[in-house]
Amino acid sequence: MHEIGTSFNEPAPYVRRGNGLAPSAPEPGQLVLVTGGGGYIGGVLVERLLNRGYRVRVLDRLYWGHGPLTGVSDRIELVEADVREMPASALDGVDGVIHLAGLSNDPTAEYAPEANWQMNAIATETLGRNCLDRDVQRLVFASSCSLYDGLPPGMHDETAPICPRGAYATSKRYGEEALQTLANEGLCPVILRNGTVYGYSPRMRFDLVVNTFVKDALLRSELLLHGGGWMWRPLVDVSDVSDAMIAAYEAPAALVRGEIFNVLHSNYQIRELAMLVAGSVQLLGRSVTLRETPAPRLTRDYECSNMKLASTVGFQPARSVVEAISGILSRIDVEDCTMLSDPRYYNIRWLELLRELTPQIDQYKATL
């Protein structure tokens, strides 16, 4: 199974490896509820679901506005709501759920730990319970490989004795366990521990390592290697994560009920990622310098295996970091410094701004 390359940086006859997703949906026409569909992964996933013949309802409180959904707005149903107060009608007629909504990294979870707990842990459990009550069987949950952080060095699979630290990982683990409990009562949850995602989405995030390096190479012509950048991280392209979610949604229940799968293309050292980005940006005729700096107090350093998803579901992420970097460079305006530094592409900066401005906006509205 192969896909012809479409990025202008890829020569015309370039043939990209397929990732194992079946060519067509077993039951097109099903209605899929995507919570958090207005975000970075959602912006790619929703389009892929639609192209596969699914009907899509997005439930999102739209932290990043309507912009990410502009390209699909006439083809989806939009429920503008918070997962913590989800209207019961959001599940009307739904065949299955892909659950992305919530705070999506360590800094935002640490910034608002109670909100994070209510969104990522409690709302996940409640959503699972509501699906069970409404006989909605399949629920794919976006968890994270960051649950492996803190384990001794080495390759970790889904059986590793994780001990999550911090607000984000702890809340994701609670969500996983709550859904696995509901699997014993008849729900069919599938838990995907995603590696750090890279690549282009209509809702860009420039706070994820590869994307950040692309932005820094363009804006500053310099990439900093904290502690030399020797730390390992599992990574995966946003199109592969989206397809992994679809594969998990479509897989036979007997194979995936209550199961956890790591989703990653490869494990990379941060140093290697910087070199791949620098080389790709140099191909545009720009200079990029790499500089080693002292290690920060806390570093994330872990590696995981993607064998289980490949052997159970037949899915293996295919899009490499260099392909994704070329895809980003071909789809953004590399001269647009304002866009590259816009706070809406940095989750923590945007949430800080929202919190700071909300009282003033409310006050302003009251005077209208």
Ligand X SMILES: NC(=O)c1ccc[n+]([C@@H]2O[C@H](COP(=O)([O-])OP(=O)(O)OC[C@H]3O[C@@H](n4cnc5c(N)ncnc54)[C@H](O)[C@@H]3O)[C@@H](O)[C@H]2O)c1
Binding region for ligand X (CB under 6 A): 36, 38-42, 60-64, 82-84, 100-102, 104, 119, 142, 144, 194, 196-197, 203, 205, 208, 347
State the nearest-atom distance from the C-beta of 300 to ligand X, in Å.
Answer: 12
Task: For the CB of residue 80, give the shortest distance to ligand X in the complex, in Å.
Answer: 9
Minimum distance of ligand X from residue 24's CB (angstroms): 25
Q: Which is nearer to ligand X, 288 or 316 (CB)?
A: 316
Which tokens go with 335?
């001269």
The least CB distance from residue 206 to ligand X, in Å, is 11
Closer to ligand X at the Cβ: 120 or 288? 120
Most distant CA pair in the chain, distance: 61
Residue 353: CB partners within 8 Å, gap ≥ 6? 343
Residues 6+ apart with CB under 8 A from 120: 102, 103, 109, 168, 171, 172, 174, 175
Distance CA 314, CA 35 (A): 26
Q: How far is the CB of 275 from ligand X (least distance, A)?
A: 21
Least Cβ distance, residue 179 to ligand X (angstroms):
13
Residue 39 or residue 327: which is nearer to ligand X going by CB? 39
Q: Do residues 265 and 198 lie in contact, with contact meaning Cβ atoms separated by under 8 Å?
A: no
Strands 15-17 and 2-4: antiparallel
Nearer to ligand X, 46 or 218 (CB): 46
Q: Which is nearer to ligand X, 101 or 182 (CB)?
A: 101
Smaller CB distance to ligand X: residue 146 or 326?
146
Nearer to ligand X, 21 or 100 (CB): 100
Q: Where are any strands of DSSP class E within the chain?
A: 2-4, 15-17, 31-35, 55-60, 76-80, 96-99, 138-144, 155-156, 188-194, 196-198, 222-226, 232-237, 259-263, 266-269, 289-293, 303-304
Q: Using the minimum distance from each CB to ligand X, give the nearer residue, 143 or 288.
A: 143
CB of 36 to ligand X, least distance (A): 3
Nearer to ligand X, 288 or 325 (CB): 325
- Looking at the Cβ atoms of 67 and 279, the one nearer to ligand X is 67
Task: List, in sequence order, every residue forming a beta bridge with 198; answer none if it has no partner.
Answer: 237
Reduce the DSSP state of residue 310 to 3 states and report it. helix
CB of 100 to ligand X, least distance (A): 4
As measured in angstroms, the least distance from the Cβ of 284 to ligand X is: 25
With a CB cutoff of 8 Å and minimum separation 6, the contacts of 291 are: 222, 223, 224, 225
Yes or no: say if 216 and 225 are a contact pair by the CB < 8 Å rule. no
For 196, the 3-state DSSP assignment is strand
User: Rounded to whole angstroms, how far apart are CA atoms 250 and 77?
Assistant: 21
C-alpha 201/C-alpha 67 separation (Å) is 12
Query: Which residue minimizes CB distance to ligand X?
Result: 39
Q: Are 70 and 201 in contact (CB under 8 A)?
A: no
For the bound state, the minimum distance from the C-beta of residue 309 to ligand X, rounded and expressed in Å, comes to: 14
Strands 188-194 and 196-198: unpaired
